[in-house]
């Protein structure tokens, strides 16, 4: 890709069924990148399997949620001087074939989102979760000054500026890791852009979003957005 150093950060919670295959695929697709798995108090063999597959593993003693795990990942990236940090799911839903496109877009942006519903693939979500996503995308597009269709995507790529910022200010609250991070970045005048990606179905394990959780997604997501807008940006 270039001589920039890239760290792939994988937040993982009980993903023993898929994490090794995901790492193998990543090493194949982006051999120049280092892979960091942040194991978030998993009760299964996620950490051992990830290490055996060649990743560096940081193990949190108990479950902090995606936000807490990602903050640790960005701090690691910042301290080790990585130029690019790419967040990637442990469940096999993300396709590493899109990584070069995300990285290339960093020429024009500080944070690049791999977006579903943007042309590639046929991933769909229905019901309240879908409406929430559409409305949030509208609000955040206005804030960021660019069209964003998938503000909750966990496939993202950050440059050094954003790595440094996230190492100090990553929101760890529920849903903060997705929506609030975008508000922070946009309000600091940093550039957010998206690249269309297709997503696959989860390869094993269980999703953290149950139908019950999805039902309250709408209200909470808007509350998160409102609070993020009221909050003073970090430094």
Residue 192, φ and ψ in degrees, nearest 5: -110, 135
Mark 85-124 with x for binding to Mg ion (rule: CB under 5 A) and - for no binding: ------x-x-------------------------------
Query: Nearest CA to 138 among 222, 74, 205?
Result: 222
Decide if 184 contacts 207 (C-beta within 8 A): no
Please state the closest distance from residue 79 (CB atom) to ligand GDP, in A: 19
Q: Is 14 in the site for Mg ion (CB under 5 A)?
A: no
Q: How far is the CB of 146 from Mg ion (least distance, A)?
A: 25
Binding footprint of ligand GDP on the chain (CB under 6 A): 11-13, 15, 38, 40, 63, 65-66, 69, 89-91, 93, 154, 202, 207-209
Q: How far is the CB of 111 from ligand GDP (least distance, A)?
A: 18
Give residues 163-222 in contact with Mg ion (rule: CB under 5 A): 202
Residue 66 and residue 154: Cα distance in Å, rounded? 10
Q: Which residue, among 50, 28, 54, has the nearest Cα to 39 in the 3D structure?
A: 50
Would you state the structure tokens that stand for residue 9, as one six-digit string?
């950060």
Task: For the chain, give the number of residues.
Answer: 235
74 touches, from ligand GDP, Mg ion, none (C-beta below 5 to 8 Å by class): none
Of Mg ion, ligand GDP, none, which one does residue 114 interact with (CB within 5 to 8 Å by kind)? none
Q: What is the distance between the alpha carbons of residues 175 and 61, in angstroms, rounded to a whole number?
A: 21
The minimum distance between CB 10 and ligand GDP, in angstroms, equals: 6
């Amino acid at each position: 890709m270039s001589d920039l150093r890239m760290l792939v950060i994988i937040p993982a919670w009980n993903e023993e069924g898929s994490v090794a295959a995901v790492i193998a695929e990543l090493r194949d697709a982006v051999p120049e990148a280092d892979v960091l798995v942040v194991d978030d108090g998993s009760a299964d063999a996620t950490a051992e399997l990830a290490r055996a597959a060649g990743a560096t593993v940081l193990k949190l003693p108990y479950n902090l949620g995606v936000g807490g795990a990602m903050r640790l990942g960005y701090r690691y990236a910042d301290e080790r001087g990585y130029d690019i940090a790419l967040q990637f799911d442990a469940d096999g839903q993300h396709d590493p074939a899109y990584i070069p496109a995300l990285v290339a877009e960093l020429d024009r942006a500080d944070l690049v989102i791999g977006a579903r519903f943007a042309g590639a693939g046929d991933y769909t979500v229905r019901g309240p979760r879908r409406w929430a996503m559409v409305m949030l995308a509208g609000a955040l597009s206005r804030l960021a000054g660019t069209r964003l269709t998938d503000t909750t995507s966990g496939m993202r790529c950050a440059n050094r500026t954003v790595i440094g910022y996230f190492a100090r200010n990553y929101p760890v609250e529920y849903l903060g890791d997705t929506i609030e991070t975008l508000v922070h970045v946009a309000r600091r005048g940093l550039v957010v852009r998206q690249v269309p990606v297709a997503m696959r179905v989860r390869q094993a394990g269980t999703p953290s979003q149950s139908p019950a959780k999805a039902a309250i997604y709408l209200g909470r997501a808007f509350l998160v957005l409102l609070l993020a807008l009221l909050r003073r940006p970090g430094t």
